[in-house]
Chains A and B, each alone.
Chain A
Amino acid sequence: MPANRFNAFTDYGIGIGLRIPHYRHILEKKPVVDWFEIISENFMVEGGRPLEILDQILEQYRVVQHGVSMYFGSAEPLNREHLRKLKRLVRRTKTPWLSDHLCWGSVDGRYTHDLLPMPYTFAAAKVAAQKIRQARDFLEVPIAVENVSSYAEFHVSEMTEWEFLTEVVERADCGILLDVNNIYVSSFNHGFDPFKYLDHIPMERVAQMHIAGHSRYRKYILDTHDHAVIEPVWKLYAHAARLAGRTATLLEWDAHIPSFEEVHDEALKANQFISQIEAAAA
C-alpha cells in the first residue's frame, strides 16, 4: 500500500514544506531531509530567485509538488495557462506525483484564493472527477486529491464527506492526499467521528498524508497551520498509518514558522507512530 501507483511506487518517508524562512539554513547547512513539498504556484514563475532557489534544492533533495488553485470542484474548465505552467514545473522538479485539493475557489474568472468546500452531490463528484482525469492526462503524472478542512456544510449535500471523497477518487481513478489534521478540524466543526471517516475511505488509494497544527476557537477550529500537531491528531495519524501502512508524510507549518530544526523535529515524531505500528504488526 505505501508504494502504489498513486505515488509512482515511491517509498518517501517524512518530509516538510519548503518555506522561505528556512531557505538559508537548508542551503548552507544541507540538513538531511527525506523530501520537501513545494507549493507549485510559488514556483510557476518566469524567472528570478524562486527558480534559482528551487534549482539549488533540486540538486540535493527530492521534491513533491502540492497545488492550491487547480480547483477541481469549480464549475469552470481547468485553466489552460495554469496547466501549461504547471507542466513546465513538473518537468523541472520531476515530481513523482502531484497533489491539489478537492474544493472550489473560483467563479467567472474571479479567484478567492481559498479552498472552499464542495456540496457533496453526485453531480459535483462527476464534474470534479472529470477535471482530475483531464489534469492527469495533460500533466502525465499521478494525481492525489486532498480532503480540505471546512467550516460550512450545504443543505444540498447528498452524502457524507468521506462518501464524497470516495466517489470522486474512484470515478477519477486517482490517489488521495489524506490530511488527517483536516479530518480532525472538520470533525469538530461538523460533529462527526473522525475515525469513522478513516474507516470508510479507500486506503489503497492513499499516496501521501498531511499532518499539521491548527487554532482552536470557542465555537470552531480554524485550519491555520501555525502550531505543533496536537495529540488527538497524532492519534488519528496513527490510525490512518495502521490502515494504510507506512506512507509518505508531510508536516505543514505555514505561518508563525519556527526554526527549521523545530519544524523538522515535529515532523519526525511521525516515525514513532509508524514504528509502533510496524512493531505491533511484526
Chain B
Amino acid sequence: MWNRDRWREMFLTLRKNKLRTVLSGFTVAMGIFIFVLLFGFGNGLKNSFEQFFVDDSTNTIWLYPGQTEKPYRGFKAKRRIIFRNDDLKDIEQNFPLFIDYTTPRISRGALVKRGKESNNYTVRGVAPGHQQAERSIIIKGRYINEADVQDNTKYATIGRLVEKDLFGKKSSLGQQIDVGGVSFKVVGVFRDEGGDNEERLIYIPYTTRQRLEKSNDRIDQIIVAFRPELGYTGALALEKKLTTFLRKKHNIAPNDRSGIYVRNVAADLKQTQQFASVLQLIVTFVGLGTLLAGIIGISNIMVFVVKERTKELGIRKAIGATPKSVVGMILHESVFITTIAGYAGLLAGVGTLTLIGDSLEEFFIINPYIGTNTAVGATLILILFGAIAGYIPARRAAKIKPIIALRDE
C-alpha cells in the first residue's frame, strides 16, 4: 500500500486517463454533495419546525381563570373566577415536590414614551420565574428579580426591539421610560428566539402592576413549571391535581370545565415530537435514497472502467502481473479516487450549506446542517461500495486468461 512505486504507477495511470478519472471522481463527488445538501435541508426543515414550538419552556402548565357554567355550593352560575396572589402561594405550598417555580402574568397594553419616540407595547407584570418560562435571553443588564417583586420597584426589562424603537442605537440601560404615564427605569434588555413579537414586550414586577391598579392582588394567569423529571404522565397527573385543587378552593363544581382553563405544554410537546420524528424519518429516507443512487452510479462507472481496461490488464498479465497485483491496482485506484472525490463533495456540500445559512428561512429551512458522523459515515459507505463495485469486475478481469483479453476484436 505504501510502496512509492505503486503510488507513482497509479498517479501515472490516473493522469494519463484524465477523462476516466474525472468522470468517476465526479460521480462520487456529486453523490456525496447531493446527499449532504438534501440531508442538510431536511435538518433545516426540522429546525424551523422545532422553532415554532420550542421557543418557550416545555415543562409548564398554564392556568387561566374563566366563568362558571354550573351553580355550586350556593354560588350561582356565570360567576367570574379571579386568581389572586394567595392562589400562587397555595399552589407553591401544596405541591412543593412537583413544582420547579411559578410565576403570575398580568398583561396590559400601554403607550410607552421616551423623548419624542412613542409606541404601543404589551406590558407584562411577572415574577422572576417568567424568564425561564418564556426562555428570554438577557443581552444587557438583568431580568426582574425577587427584590423588585418585594419592593414594587419601578424597574422594567425591555425587549430588544423596544430598545431599538425607542432608543435607536443608544443604550437604554439606566434610562427612564414612560409607561402609560408612570416612569420606569430600564434595568435590562432581552432577546427571544420566538420572533419579533416576542421582542416587543416589556416586563415589570407584577406587584408594581398591582399597586398601580389600586393596590389589588389580582392575577391574570398563573404559569406553573413542573420538575422535568416528572415526565409526560407525571405532568398529566399534576395538571389534574392542580385543577381539582383550584376548583375546590374557588368553589367550582368538579365537573365544570369552564371555571378554569388549563394548557399543558407537555401534552402539546408530545404531539410536536411525534410530528418531528415523522419528519426525521422522511429526511433519513431521502438521504438513504440519494446514497443508494450514488452507489449505483459508482458501481456502473467501475464496471465500465474495468471493461474498458480488459486489454490493458491482459497485457500486464502477459508481461508478469499476478492476478493479485491486478486486483490490487484497480482497488487502489478506485479507493483513491472515491476518497479524494468523496472528500471534495463533502466539503462542497458542507460549504454550500454554510453559505445558504438562514437565507432560505422563508421556505422553512433554518440553519441547514449535517452531523459530522452522518457525513463522514456516508462518505465511507460510498468509498466502501466503490471498492466493492471495483473489486468484482477487477477479480473477473484478473481471472480472464491473458490470451482472451489480448484477442483482437
Co-assembled chains A and B:
no
Binding site for A on B (CB under 8 A): none
Chain A residues close to B by CB (< 8 Å): none
